[in-house]
Amino acid sequence: MTVVSPLPRGPVPAAPAVVPFARDLARHGDRLAVVAGGDRWTYRELAERVTTTAARLGAGRKLVLVSGANDPGQLVTYLAALAAGHVALLVPPAQAGAVAAAYDPDAVLLPGGEVDVRHRVPAHELHPDLALLMPTSGSTGSPKLARLSHRNVQANAESIVRFLGIRDTDRAVTTLPMHYVYGLSVVNTHLLRGAAVVLTDLSVADACFWDLFRAEGGTTLSGVPHTFDLLDRVGFARMRLPRLRYVTQAGGRLDPSYVRRYAQLGRRAGWDFVVMYGQTEATARMAYLPPELADAHPATVGVPIPGGSFVIEPAPEATAPGVGELVYHGPNVMLGYASSPADLALGRTVTALRTGDLARLTPEGLVEIVGRRGRFVKIAGLRVDLDHLETALSGPGVDVRCTGADGELLVAVSGPGAEPGAVRQEIAGRYGLPARAVTVAAVAEPPRLVNGKIDYPALGALVSAAPRTEPERDDKGAETPERLRALYAELLGRPDATLDSTFADLGGDSLSFVEVSIRLEDELGTVPANWHVTPIRELAAAGAPAGRGRGLVRVRRVETGAALRALAIVCVVGTHAGLFTLLGGAHVLVAVAGFNFARFRLTAADRATRLRRQAVGIARIAVPSMLWIGGVVLLTNQYGPLNVLLLNGLLGPPSWTSDWHFWFVEVLVYVLVVMAALLAVPSVDRLERRFPFMFPVVLLGWGLLGRYEVVDLGVPHTMPVFWLFAFGWAAARASRWWQRLGLTLVLAVTVPGFFGNSAREVAIVAGIALLLWLVAVPFPAPSHRVVSVLASSSLYVYLTHWQVYPHLDDIHPALAVAASLAAGAAVWWLAGRATALVSGLGARPGAARAGAGTTPGRV
């Protein structure tokens, strides 16, 4: 690698250099700049937000860490850093903690979208040319960073705009994260040109992505090789995308047959297919294949981008004539690498980029990559450091050696503790690599050269020739990941579920949580505590080695919230039927509802998505309740119109009558509607994200004003229990022992005296304390299913038991209770089947994103 002496360190200039396109956003005026959920910002509005955020960062050049999904907060903070002369450090969420510990950033973008300025006085000496730091090896490589200058970022964006012919009328819908340099360049180029960027984390395998793409008039689509596998699966070739102008591909070698096929498809459909080649060290891209040449030369990466040039230099690994190492020169070549904070003060240490790729020039003058010098391969867009992988996977009694090529990882394991299946699972789960791209084989001893070094070509041949270690399959031959995907699709009514989907992403909620978790335990044996926010692919890789848990466990653990729902509904019905007296179950359910509201409705999704999911959650409670009560009114005339409309709590009689049977449903709907309206306010939404624990604590304090009648809420019997809902919400956000302890003390002080019934108050305190301190509770395996059904059907049991137990009390209260529970479970099952049937008959693809599910009425 060509190296020059580092520039001497010196004082930071008074007027730091900036990236021009980030500084000049306002020049595009009222053109649409960003679409993100319900937010639509013009360039003028985007520039104002960037200026505001830059002001929050304060004076002095700061190191600003940004991680997360494609959301407006990440974009604004990144642009603010570039526009104000700070240094942006973009990393994947999984690496944020390690990078923050290693580099001690001055400011950090928090998950809620707020910027936490940790050092008002900059803690680092930052070179005047430094603008951006990017990881160089994806999720599997070493933690070193590429140091990119203001000129690197601007020049590469200008070059890409030029050769792609990006227009100010273009709209790019994001398919790649911003912390990936290819995804970032899509954002940079469109903002430089004054085009629009539609931010989303939806996968191209999700029907909702294509709904969004069409609705926003998407003109550009970008993908890595794995993206095109997904496009084939969703029938991209048959889609009507009238505004699509071009499709780009980078992030690794795409098989020539794909290149030719997509080039031909684009020619028929009226859009261009552009293959590109790049590395993080060159800011984004170094070469492109003109679309008119793709069909005839699909194995090449084309010509240098405007302003860049290639040289092929001799390399000892190259044996074929004309083949050598590809070296790139251009204004987008990085300053150099950083391995520690001290390196951030360095100037240029690299003048040319030695790519590590072996290449040749075709007779037409096109660059063709034929191999790789270094120990790296690219898989699914990730640059995999093979040496790092060997170190990470090897351990006592296990020696792991890795080789391969782009798109294929070959792994040999040896030693007394060698388990190829376990190694394969760890690679897929820990590093997120697709299982189909990984081959693992057990070998007695890795082959070596005469000098004692590993003979990697021979190793690759040995692994390739060995029987492939397949992922676990069930008796029908389905792979575990696909089996779990089908399970999610069935139980959540989401045929659009992909291996990258999570339970929360698919609109899962508290009652479907029970059913899905139990089915997952049946499939995997055990599931992690955070399974509901873990992608299906990682769940499949992280399951118990035996794969299935049926019949193997005498004691099963049930999530505490689910156990409390089952126990509470039995207490409610048993007390009403006179079998026993144990009050307080409904009030425990109010706290559980708050707990689940925080877990399943207040996710990291954008505000519009959150609000949509909250509306769906309200409908799943209100609609079945209104239908049931309306049917009862028609058949028995037992209740009135206010009950059907769930308005008795607001307009009904103040004295307790049978009209108050459904107070629990009404208060829950009231609370959820008020919370949805509150969180629809952008500033409130930002506060909740910024202070996830203190926000519900403040609401708890407000609710206690009603509990102690300091404030008259004007609604008898119902709204004073809001403090229990807020308590459950705070319990879900309590991540530290002292927070849980503090809430326990508040619980112990505020519940006594509210009901005037000591036994009832003890039951409520005990139930909510369990929610605070225990993640799950053990149950004998035979009762596991019963608990699951009772928890899942609790709303339906509550609705229907009023019409069941009075008719059987005279025979025996136990019979009345059993019949009430059975009837509620039966109605729940029938409602689920009916909803699935309606969804299957009438829903358009992706409609489930708006809330269709197999089990309505979830709390």
Instruction: Return the number of other C-beta atoms located less than 10 Å from residue 141's C-beta.
Output: 19
67 and 105 housed in the same domain: yes
578 and 515 housed in the same domain: no
| Matching residue, tokens 């997952």 | 520
Residue 37 lies in a domain: yes
- C-alpha–C-alpha distance, residues 776 and 57, integer Å: 42
191 and 282 housed in the same domain: yes
Residue 484 lies in a domain: yes
Residue finishing a domain among 410, 432, 465: 465
298 and 415 housed in the same domain: no
State the CATH number of the domain containing residue 504: 1.10.1200.10
pLDDT for res 655:
65
Residue finishing a domain among 420, 435, 465: 465
- C-alpha–C-alpha distance, residues 389 and 398, integer Å: 13
Q: How many domains is the chain built from? A: 5
Instruction: Return the H-helix or E-strand segment holding 771.
Output: helix 758-773
**Whether 306 contacts 164, CB under 8 Å:** no
Q: What are phi and psi of 813, to 5 degrees?
A: -60, -35
Contacts of 736 (CB under 8 A, 6+ apart): none
**Whether 428 contacts 389, CB under 8 Å:** no
460 and 495 housed in the same domain: no
Domain that holds residue 717: 561-603+614-774
Residue finishing a domain among 774, 802, 827: 774
- Terminal alpha carbon distance of the chain: 61
| Matching residue, tokens 């459909």 | 269
pLDDT for res 836:
59
Give the residues of the chain that fall short of pLDDT 50.
1-14, 138-142, 469-478, 544-553, 715-719, 840-859
Contacts of 320 (CB under 8 A, 6+ apart): 360, 370
Residue 310 lies in a domain: yes
What's the pLDDT tens digit per position in 791-843? 888 999 999 999 999 989 889 989 999 999 999 999 988 887 776 565 544 43
Residue 517 lies in a domain: yes
Q: What are phi and psi of 581, to 5 degrees?
A: -125, 110
Nearest to 575 by CA among 820, 246, 378, 372: 820
State the CATH number of the domain containing residue 175: 3.40.50.12780
Nearest to 198 by CA among 181, 184, 216: 216
Residue 68 lies in a domain: yes
pLDDT for res 417:
77
486 and 459 housed in the same domain: no
Q: What tokens does 714 get?
A: 């004007």
366 and 513 housed in the same domain: no
State the CATH number of the domain containing residue 413: 3.30.300.30
Residue 780 lies in a domain: no
127 and 200 housed in the same domain: yes
Q: What's the gap between Cα 180 and its chain centre?
A: 15
pLDDT for res 396:
79
729 and 842 housed in the same domain: no
Residue 475 lies in a domain: no
What's the pLDDT tens digit per position in 422-446? 888 778 767 767 767 788 998 888 8
- C-alpha–C-alpha distance, residues 744 and 769, integer Å: 7
- C-alpha–C-alpha distance, residues 417 and 413, integer Å: 9
711 and 815 housed in the same domain: no
Q: How many helices (H) and strands (E) does the chain have?
A: 29, 27
Residue 264 lies in a domain: yes
The order of strands in the sheet holding 107-109 is: 115-117, 107-109, 63-67, 87-91, 130-135, 145-149, 336-338
- C-alpha–C-alpha distance, residues 505 and 503, integer Å: 6
The beta strands (E) that lie in 678-726 are given as: none
pLDDT for res 467:
65
- C-alpha–C-alpha distance, residues 310 and 316, integer Å: 19
Q: How many residues does the chain have?
A: 859
341 and 415 housed in the same domain: no
For residue 473, which amino acid is it? R
567 and 547 housed in the same domain: no
pLDDT for res 130:
97
Half-sphere exposure of 630 (CA within 13 A, CB side): 9
Q: For helices 256-269 and 225-233, what crossing angle results, to 10°?
A: 60
pLDDT for res 781:
64
pLDDT for res 9:
42
